[in-house]
Amino acid sequence: MRLAVGLMAMAVALLMAAGEPARAADCAPVLGPEGYAATRAVDVRSWDVLRLGLPGGAVTVSGRTCLQHYEADSEDAARAGGAVGAMRAALAADRTDILVAEPRLTIARQRRGDSDIWIRVTSAGVALDVTVVEQVGHRQVLTVPQERDYAPLGHMPDYVAAQPEWRDFDQRVFPLRDGEETVQGRRFEVDYTLREGATPADVRLIQLNYRTALLAAGAEVLFADERNTTARLNRAGQAVWLRVWSEEAAINVTVIEQSQHRRTLQPPSGRDYPRLGRMAGYLVDTVERKTLDEVIFTVQDGEQVREVKVQGARTEVGYVPRAGGMPASDLDIQLNYRAALADLGGQILFTDAATTVARFADSGALIWVKVWSEETAIAVSIVQERTFKGTVKVIPAETLRAALEGRGRTALFLPFMFDRPGLRADSAPALAEVARMMAEARGMRLLIENHTDIIGPRARNLALAAARAERVRDALVSAGVDPARLRAVGIGPDRPAADNATSEGRARNRRTVLIREPAGG
């Protein structure tokens, strides 16, 4: 065994020195256990950093690194083989110090001349992973942090920093060992390019230098490969996430100082739309108004996305950052406007990274809003949807009775609270006529149906319609109608009377239908 281990170590060492991937199946001095097979050629890295949890505390080791993954030939071998224990016993027999001995984990150290070889063996189910680090000294070459760097990180010699980019609030995705994490907060980002005529550094050496600096600053390395390092640093209780990406001629450092979103939208003033303000640091660039226009808005219901036409008075306000100011990120812009629209009782109909579509009620009028952004430009489009006179008139009791006794049904366009079941105060005249008709037609029984337009989630509209129908029934009962003569049901968007693609069609679909039911039914 000693001879085999020695030959394997020599082969791997030669391959490491050549800077090429090892072709052998194992990472010396660890041989794959019986019943397990290597699933790939060994991954040999000329330099890497490993953090090991030992009984006395975590230690960081760096140097030439070899990694291998094994899987059991069968599930029986995984259950009965005791692979980690068998490998631990083989290492102990090879004059190796066993520092951690757990059922699924071995950490060991072997001294070889002036250097140490660190070994970690872990298992999970039928899988087994081996990491071997031949510890040798490393000369850190990162500069001390300078004006354009993000402390505690300097930069590689012969690499020149571009102007860093700050955003008060943004998000980035950070790769992790077992997936990825989306982190929000204040963002710093800087790109470095190789100085003209300079010799590029090895991409692994770039990562090693940044990784070593991060570990020296107390950061936890969460992911590392040849071109990426993800780390998290605790700074006075605040989590700071850092990612270093590199290729030989370019380096990017991205930082998120993790925090919650803070609203910064200013109150409306000047040329702003009266109900929506502007982002701090932005100025009104253009204002356009039309008394009647048609605008297409995108709305979403689950996985389905559709475009709807809205007719009415249009206002469009364009914003640009103040000269010399720092733009806001699209995320910051969109979150600010979404919060303001929610304060107005708005219904959010569509969102993506740079867009918000919503509608809300303002003094009985239905207002549609689209906010589009690209950091250096914001466009707020507002349409006050046209009111159609035929949908708001009060029908006298005599006309109601004639329609019900003739056609058996009639539609009312009762005003409800926006996106809520409550009736508005101006619904009282129309309901008073229904109550009067019911008092005069003593044998009449009614089914009360409520219908909505198609905008918004279907499930939400069904629930809203059912609640509104009950509110109409309750109002008539309060006006003296026998509850036994009334039945309520919500239909929602499922039986449109007109085309939902237009403002007028949607207005006609938002209706309450009274249906005469058979006596005793």
State pLDDT tens for residues 44-64.
876 677 788 899 888 888 788
Three-state secondary structure along 205-267? HHHHHHHHHHHHCCCEEEEECCCEEEEEEEECCEEEEEEEEEECCEEEEEEEEECCCCCCECC
pLDDT at residue 78, rounded to an integer:
54
- pLDDT of residue 205 exceeding 90, the answer is no
So what's the architecture of 390-517 in CATH?
A: 2-Layer Sandwich (3.30)
Q: Give percent of the chain with pLDDT exceeding 90.
A: 70
pLDDT score of 1 more than 50: no
- Tell me the mean pLDDT in the region 177-192: 97
CA distance 460 to 127: 47
- C-alpha–C-alpha distance, residues 342 and 364, integer Å: 17
The whole-number average pLDDT for the span 175-196 is: 96
Long-range contacts: 101-109, Cβ < 8 Å, 24+? 107/52, 107/53, 107/54
Q: For 383-441, how does the pLDDT look when each residue is reduced to its tens digit (9 = 90+)?
A: 999 987 666 689 999 999 999 999 999 999 999 999 999 999 999 999 999 999 999 99
pLDDT band at residue 13, thresholds of 50, 70 and 90? very low
How many whole angstroms from its chain centre is CA 188?
19
348 backbone dihedrals φ, ψ, rounded to 5°: -80, 120
Res. 194 pLDDT band, cuts 50 70 90: very high
Helix (H, G, I), strand (E, B) or coil at 453: coil
- 76 — pLDDT class (breaks 50, 70, 90): low
Determine the Cα–Cα distance for residues 155 and 192; give it in Å rounded to an integer: 8
Residue written as token pair 């009736």: 423
The phi and psi torsions of 94 (rounded to 5 degrees) equal -100, 30
**From CA 204, how far away is CA 220, in angstroms rounded?**
19
Tokens of 294: 């048609």
Token pair 């989630």 is at which residue? 457
In what order do the strands lie in the sheet containing 409-412?
409-412, 511-517, 445-451, 486-492
Residue carrying the six token digits 């918000």: 356
Cα–Cα distances in Å, from 61 out to 84, 241, 294, 352, 478?
A: 22, 22, 66, 44, 79
CATH number assigned to the domain covering 282-385:
3.30.310
| Band of pLDDT at residue 520, cut at 50, 70 and 90 | low
* pLDDT at residue 80 is higher than 60: no
- Omega cis (within 30) before 103: no
pLDDT top residue among 109 and 521:
109
- Kindly state the average pLDDT of the residues 328-350: 97
pLDDT exceeds 50 at position 235: yes
Could you tell me where in the chain the CATH 3.30.1330.60 domains are found?
A: 390-517
Structure-block tokens of residue 86: 């068998």
Q: Is residue 16 predicted with pLDDT exceeding 80?
A: no
Q: Using the predicted structure, report yes or no on whether residue 501 has a pLDDT greater than 50.
A: yes
Structure tokens at 496: 């449109």
Quote the pLDDT of residue 6. Answer: 39
Which regions of the chain carry the CATH code 3.30.310?
159-258, 282-385
- The CATH number of the structural domain formed by 159-258 is 3.30.310
Write down the residue that tokens 């996430």 correspond to. Answer: 241
Alpha helices in 37-96 (DSSP H): 75-80, 83-93
Whole-model pTM?
A: 0.71
Give the pLDDT confidence score for residue 9 in this predicted structure: 41
pLDDT level of residue 20 (50, 70, 90 thresholds): very low
Residue 172 has pLDDT above 50, yes or no: yes
pLDDT of res. 77: 55
Give CA 50 to chain center in angstroms: 31
